[in-house]
Amino acid sequence: MASSMCPLSSESLKISQRQLFVPSLQEIKNVVSPALAENFSEVFVEVVDCPDLTQQPFTLAAAGLGGVKKILEVGGPSFLLPIPQRHKIYELKSILDCINDKKMEKRAFVVGAGAGPWPRLSKNCEMMMNVVVSAKDLKNETRLSWVGRNEECILEESLGNDTRFALLANLYVSEGTPEKVLKVHAKKRTGKLDFIATMQKALQAHYKDKLVGLGGTFLFKQGKVRQHVMRDFSTAPLTTENALNNWLKFYEMSAPLVAVGTFVSAQTDLDLRVQHFHSFSHHGEGGHYHIDTTPDIAEYLGYFGVAESLYRIDQPAVCVDFGKD
Ligand code: ZN
């Protein structure tokens, strides 16, 4: 593991890099398939060429999940709980400049889940990052969602050239190029685990001390799903899981939803969040994925790439024992 400081951010950020164990897609297919079959009645897992993810129904900012593949975990729930550390504002481009290899990648396609740049809205919000950054261009299709005055969910699509976020994020960085990916199609949930937890726990059980990380996207094709949106920052400290769950606003959101995020096989000494996906839609809903609430008709279609390295950025000194679901 290598550690360095990123001098490009306003506050110098500590960055730890770790090489990940990179199994073949075929091996991962073999590891997750039995677990998926225990939790869903219809399961199809294949290694395929990535479809063009810029097209419906995914509508992401780049076509593929290939090239140099990295997972970034920035900050963590300790910067939100029990009291928000409002000064924890990050800028994606500066972070990418710090972690790029010397033969600087030409293009970064970044998707994932985090807290949005609260100064933009003057309130706390969820972020579904979906952006292509290159030396010359920025294609920013990141969405933010927040809780409106009448407790409704509001989803904003246009951030312009603002690539900031806050507090915490779990991001998958690739070059956005077409490459083989793991396709996971699962229907009708029969077990207790959600779509991602099913695969995460299978990786955890199989790889043990070898750290494996995946990222990408899944479409929630049919049914309803329990998702939360963070309200504006709490004035009272959130010291228990109960207080946290009362502060979060939970919704039942409708398909189709497009989720973006990462999952890793283990928490390790880097205090990693083992899974984190946020989803957006074209019908005004978006938030943090928990689990579908309509198991009989639930249907998921995911495409995932396997990361080669992981960057732990600005790891909090203190761990919290809740807030990572
Ligand atoms: Zn989240």
The Å distance, Cα 102 to ligand 1 centre, comes to 32
What pLDDT shows up at residue 287? 98
pLDDT at 277: 98
Return the closest-CA partner of residue 29 out of 289, 302, 274. 302
- What per-residue confidence (pLDDT) applies to 12? 81
Q: Which of 265, 225, 230 is nearest to 247 (CA)?
A: 230
Cα of 310 vs centre of ligand 1, distance in Å, is: 19
Cβ-contact 302, 219 below 8 angstroms = yes
Q: Round the average pLDDT of the chain to a whole number and report it.
A: 95
- Lookup: tokens for 214: 């995946």
Span 51-99, pLDDT tens digits: 999 999 999 999 999 999 999 999 999 999 999 999 999 999 999 998 8
Percent of the chain with pLDDT over 90: 88
> 222 pLDDT exceeds 90?
yes
Residue 154 has pLDDT above 80, yes or no: yes
How far apart are the CA of 14 and the centre of ligand 1, in A?
22
pLDDT of the residue at 6: 72
Question: How far is ligand 1, taken at its centre, from the CA of residue 81, in Å?
Answer: 13
Whether the per-residue pLDDT at 7 is higher than 80: the answer is no
227 CA distance to ligand 1 middle (Å): 9
Q: What are the two backbone dihedrals, phi and then psi, of residue 191, each rounded to the nearest 5 degrees? A: -105, -175
CA of 83 to the centre of ligand 1 (A): 17
The Å distance, Cα 250 to ligand 1 centre, comes to: 12
pTM over 0.95: yes
Provide the pLDDT for residue 11. Answer: 63
3: CA distance to ligand 1 center in Å?
A: 26
Which phi and psi angles does 203 have, rounded to 5°?
Answer: -65, -45
Distance (Å) from CA 126 to ligand 1 centroid? 7
> Is the predicted pLDDT of residue 322 greater than 60, yes or no?
yes
CA distances from 189 to 33, 185, 201, 237, 280 (A): 14, 12, 16, 36, 21
Spell out which residues have Cβ within 5 A of ligand 1, the ion: 113, 288
Give the pLDDT band (50/70/90) at residue 323: confident
Over residues 13-51, the pLDDT tens digits come to 999 999 999 999 999 999 999 999 999 999 999 999 999
Q: Which residues contact 189 (CB under 8 A, 6 or more apart)?
A: 39, 40, 195, 292, 295, 298
Q: How far is the CA of 103 from the centre of ligand 1 (A)?
A: 33
Q: Report helix, strand or coil for 201.
A: helix
pLDDT score, position 8: 60
For residue 230, the CA-to-ligand 1 centroid distance in Å is 8
For the stretch 166-217, pLDDT in tens is: 999 999 999 999 999 999 999 999 999 999 999 999 999 999 989 999 999 9
pLDDT score at 90: 97
**Residue 10 pLDDT exceeds 70:** no
The alpha carbon of 307 and the centre of ligand 1 are apart by a number of angstroms equal to 20
pLDDT > 70 in the chain, percent:
97
Query: How much is the pLDDT for 200?
Result: 98
Question: E-strand spans in the chain?
Answer: 2-6, 13-19, 40-49, 70-75, 89-91, 107-115, 126-134, 138-140, 143-147, 153-156, 164-174, 180-189, 213-222, 224-229, 249-254, 257-264, 275-280, 286-292, 299-306, 309-313
Q: Is 264 helix (H, G, I), strand (E, B) or coil?
A: strand
Instruction: Give the model confidence (pLDDT) of 255-314 as tens digits.
Output: 999 999 999 999 999 999 999 999 999 999 999 999 999 999 999 999 999 999 999 999
Q: What is the model's pLDDT at position 238? A: 96
CA of 45 to the centre of ligand 1 (A): 26
